[in-house]
Structure 1
Amino acid sequence: MFAKKHIKIFLVILALLVMAFSFYRMYNNPGLDVDEVSSEVKISWIDLVNSFEKDEKKASELYMDKVIEVTGKIIDISESDKSLVIVLGDPDKDISVICQIQDNELESIPEVAVGDELVIKGYCTGYLMDVMLIRCKIVNSRS
């Protein structure tokens, strides 16, 4: 009886340690590096946005959880100490493509400004009010 109780306690502690280690690894995972993955789709920002507006379910199947390259004109740039967000689109439209630049890219990105045409490669996470790309890298820029 005493041995069974110790075995149960040991198994519970072991399970908690495995869960804690798993959460630690997930939290500290740097994630997908788009440099190491080839783009599955190359598309203009307007075609991407129109695809989600027309049929969100179908567009999600085509683009979500995939690395894609999006071409578009910069309509906004937001930066802080640790992040850079570039918005591709048209200022006259209510929807755009929001691109969060990969942390390891911040020091090596080319000089860009509102109005520049860009090709950005990133991981598509879906569509809320805008199409979202994370872990992005600027592939090509044209002023």
Structure 2
Amino acid sequence: MNVKKIFLFAVPAIIIISAAIGWYQYNKPQQDVASLSAQAVTAENLFKEYSSNEPAANKTYLNKALEVSGKVLEVKQTQQAQQQVILDSGDPMFGIACTLDQPALNLKPGDKVTIKGICTGYLNDVILIKSLLLN
């Protein structure tokens, strides 16, 4: 009898708490990248650090705002119709993938740029999200 009462109160309480946490996370305000202070790094150095020692690079860069300077290798659209700029990392296969919040209309391969965004890690390319073109 006692176990039934605990079960009848615990399960709804867990469901309510889980729903409240999910609602909070879904409605959490977005970070304004423009107002964050950022660490400056070149595209080549960022890629070298990630490709040589990912755990150490994660401690330095993961979930932090970065200002990455480099040469545009490619400009393309993501599946969500956002503009993505790939910066040259010095590696012929991989680069720094920066997903821009606002499209940069006149960017073309070979342009030297500085992009500010939040680093989310390394998946062959180093990934920056919520990025802004600074120049």
Question: Same-fold call, TM > 0.5?
Answer: yes
The runs of 5 or more residues in structure 1 that have no matched partner are none
Whether 1:127 and 2:126 are equivalent positions in the alignment is: no
Q: Distance in 2 between matches of 1:82 and 1:18?
A: 35
Q: Distance in 2 between matches of 1:55 and 1:10?
A: 48
Q: Distance in 1 between matches of 2:40 and 2:56?
A: 17
Q: Distance in 2 between matches of 1:93 and 1:126?
A: 19
The runs of 5 or more residues in structure 2 that have no matched partner are none
* TM-score of the pair, normalised by structure 1: 0.77
Whether 1:96 and 2:95 are equivalent positions in the alignment is: yes
The secondary structure found in structure 1 opposite 2:134 is strand
Q: In the TM superposition, what are the counterparts of 1:1-143 in structure 2 within 5 Å?
A: 5=5, 9-39=8-38, 41-79=39-77, 82-89=81-88, 93-102=92-101, 105-106=102-103, 109=104, 111-140=106-135
2:111 maps to a residue whose letter is D
Q: Which runs of 4+ in 1 moved over 6 A?
A: none
Going from structure 1 to structure 2, the CA distance change for 1:90 and 1:67 (only over 3 Å counts) comes to closer
What's the offset of the Cα at 1:91?
7.9
1:27 maps to a residue whose letter is Y
- Number of equivalent positions: 133
Q: Distance in 1 between matches of 2:81 and 2:20?
A: 27
Q: Deviations over 1:54-80 (max 9, x none)?
A: 222222211112111001111111126
What's the offset of the Cα at 1:31?
3.0
What's the offset of the Cα at 1:122?
0.7
* TM-score of the pair, normalised by structure 2: 0.81
